[in-house]
Amino acid sequence: MENFIVSARKYRPSTFDMVIGQDPITSTLKNAIKNRQIAHAYLFCGPRGVGKTTCARIFAKTINCFNIQENGEACDKCESCVSFNTLRSFNIHELDAASNNKVEDIRTLIEQVRIPPQIGKFSVYIIDEVHMLSSSAFNAFLKTLEEPPSHAIFILATTEKHKIIPTILSRCQIFDFQRIRVEDIVERLKYVAKNESVSADENALHVIAMKADGSMRDALSIFDQLVSYSGNSITYETVLEHLNVLDYEYYFRTVDAALAGDVAKILLTFNEVLTRGFDGHNFIAGLNSHFRNLLVCKDEVTLKLLDTAPAIREKYLSQSRKCSREFIYRALEIGSNCDLGYKSSKNQRLHVELALIKLCNISETEPGETEKKKSQLKPEKKDIHTLQPQEPKQSQKQEVKSDILIARESKPPENKIVSNERSLSIKELINGFHDTQTEEKVPTEIKTDELPVVASSKEKFDPDEFLKLWKKFTETVKNEGPRVSGMFKSLKVEVHKDKLVTIHLNNIAQKELFNRNYKQRLLAFMEEYYGKDFFEIETVVDPVESEDIIYSDEQKYQFLTSKYPAIKDIRKKFNLDFE
């Protein structure tokens, strides 16, 4: 029985030109060899399976070649190259730092470095996973790494450069390897499949490349695994089944249902995903990636960021034309919030289903749609001073009665309205309306049945009307924690005639919290009624209510200097800050 060699070893590059996806690094190394500018220490760092150790071996083979080609490659014919290819070269020494990470191991290496090579010019020492060395081992290695013998060259390889001490980094030429692109992995897999007489669907190879996450070694390992599973024919369905990858079609169906507002269809699609054994968290993460792909399809400049098979690319382009940018932005926000809160949710399935229901309702709240619906539902706007009295309907009479009863008899709401000379009341509006009717005698007592119904418009700004909407807004945030609930209970709202709303808060911390998390939400909530940019919101801290409590570093400094003036002189003399 013939010994099987895995594809990752069988098709391992033996020259710089065969290395996939690392052209800047291979070009630099080839030029260094041609120009005879070889350093004594190199550091190859980057993700797994991208060619760090492979490039180190090729470099070691090439610098010892007796007949280096004009393009900087080894000849593969000389005694040194042949011994390297047959794994019997004594000029290349590989050390696994994960299992040889003690000071004694490094001392043994230092003793070995002193011995010159018998064949060739250089002895190359490749230390893999060098970040696993202990601090003592690193320190013992410093002097030799900085000033090795002329025949010794060190190549250090690691996946975690941040764990290497700076004194080692400063003694090496550093090469950062990058993840291999999906297109490059697919082309390499096509080459391997052709040589192995394996029929492979291009869409299936794209799924393998995506699953490998930029690692050529992982892609070849998955390829061997699928060949063992399905024989000499690899199909798209086989890859999805064996790798437990969710089909793109589920995401396309989910987005189509969201665009149509079909809640039943989107929930049934999610149920089908769960029935097939997929995790809800993986589904929502994949859906977020799907929306990201739709977003990059909206612009030709960003289309190159889409790493999918050509057939699936066309599907993305087709669906992206159905989605507005606002829809995708809102969908990404909903999906991101669902992803963040999934693990902490007690009912994770319901958590995802609520997010899917929100997706179905995006189209109802997109900018422009709301204004269009309001224009259809609201009567034509009229000037309050030219509006003629007319007999209201019975339902309208009841509404006017309830509004006046609220204004005259009800208790103040929880959130106080601070009135001043700029405030405007319903009573003043009513009086102003009747004062304009100069042709008719103003009655001494207003009968509510005779009041006309005034259409809500941007030309009038009723403080009491704003207060009702404010109470509705506070209801939406009262369950967001005791800190938020307490803040909204204690703050005051001041409404002015000039379409200015002042929010009075107790301290700077509350002001920062409100401006950061709730100011834009409040404006968006009010836009449903008043429209966009109709009034302005300002936030202020009431100094009388906040002077007894110290919150910020600056307040602490002001409090201390008021009691101990000498602190100012100390701060100025030593150039100190109050943080």
* Mean pLDDT for the stretch of residues 351-369: 77
Q: Is residue 546 part of a domain?
A: no
**Dist CA 169 CA 192 (whole Å):** 37
**Dist CA 131 CA 169 (whole Å):** 11
* Mean pLDDT for the stretch of residues 311-335: 92
pLDDT of residue 543: 65
68 and 115 in a common domain: yes
Confidence class of residue 458 from pLDDT cuts 50, 70 and 90?
very low
Q: Which of 50-64, 89-103, 196-210, 446-460 is least confident?
A: 446-460
Confidence class of residue 453 from pLDDT cuts 50, 70 and 90?
very low
Q: Is residue 27 part of a domain?
A: yes
pLDDT of residue 579: 57
193 and 261 in a common domain: no
pLDDT at 378 over 50: no
238 and 318 in a common domain: no
* Mean pLDDT for the stretch of residues 102-125: 89
pLDDT of residue 461: 64
The range of the structural domain enclosing residue 346 comes to 248-360
103 and 34 in a common domain: yes
pLDDT of residue 266: 94
Mean pLDDT score of the chain, rounded to an integer? 80
pLDDT at 90 over 90: no
Q: Is residue 156 part of a domain?
A: yes
Confidence class of residue 371 from pLDDT cuts 50, 70 and 90?
very low
326 and 279 in a common domain: yes
Number of domains in the chain: 4
* Mean pLDDT for the stretch of residues 463-475: 80
pLDDT of residue 269: 94
pLDDT of residue 153: 94
226 and 269 in a common domain: no
Bridge partners (DSSP) of residue 495 are 501
pLDDT of residue 430: 44
**Dist CA 175 CA 45 (whole Å):** 6
CATH number at residue 50: 3.40.50.300
Q: Is residue 68 part of a domain?
A: yes
Q: Is residue 127 part of a domain?
A: yes
* Mean pLDDT for the stretch of residues 126-131: 92
pLDDT of residue 524: 80
pLDDT of residue 429: 42
Residue after which a domain boundary falls, among 429, 450, 471: 450
310 and 204 in a common domain: no
Q: Which one has a higher pLDDT value, 425 or 354? A: 354
Q: Which one has a higher pLDDT value, 446 or 369? A: 369
26 and 147 in a common domain: yes
pLDDT at 289 over 90: yes
CATH number at residue 239: 1.10.8.60
Residue with tokens 């299936």: 204
Helix (H, G, I), strand (E, B) or coil at 124: strand
Q: Which of 298-307, 322-331, 462-471 is least confident?
A: 462-471
Q: Is residue 263 part of a domain?
A: yes
- Per residue in 214-234, pLDDT (tens digit) is 999 999 999 999 998 888 889
pLDDT of residue 286: 93
Q: Which one has a higher pLDDT value, 579 or 406? A: 579
164 and 22 in a common domain: yes
Are 58 and 14 in contact by the 8 Å Cβ rule? The answer is yes
Residue after which a domain boundary falls, among 243, 266, 286: 243
CA angle 46/49/55 to nearest 5° reads 75
pLDDT at 342 over 90: yes
DSSP 45-95: E-STTSSHHHHHHHHHHHHT-SS--TTS---S-SHHHHHHHTT--SSEEEE
pLDDT at 158 over 70: yes
pLDDT of residue 208: 92
196 and 79 in a common domain: no
Q: Which of 23-27, 363-367, 444-448, 522-526 is least confident?
A: 444-448
Q: How far is CA 375 from CA 380, 404, 469, in A?
A: 8, 26, 19
**Dist CA 262 CA 360 (whole Å):** 6
230 and 171 in a common domain: no
Confidence class of residue 2 from pLDDT cuts 50, 70 and 90?
low
Bridge partners (DSSP) of residue 417 are 493
Share above pLDDT 70 across residues of the chain, in percent, rounded to a whole number: 80
The sign of the torsion formed by the CA atoms of 305, 309, 310, 316 equals negative
144 and 13 in a common domain: yes
Q: Is residue 93 part of a domain?
A: yes
Are 15 and 146 in contact by the 8 Å Cβ rule? The answer is no
- Per residue in 477-515, pLDDT (tens digit) is 777 777 777 788 778 888 877 678 888 888 888 888 888
Residue after which a domain boundary falls, among 117, 143, 176: 176
DSSP single-letter state for residue 180 = P
pLDDT at 95 over 80: yes
Query: In this structure, what are the phi and psi dihedrals at residue 35, rounded to the nearest 5 degrees?
Result: -90, 0
CATH number at residue 261: 1.20.272.10
pLDDT at 434 over 60: no
Q: Is residue 69 part of a domain?
A: yes
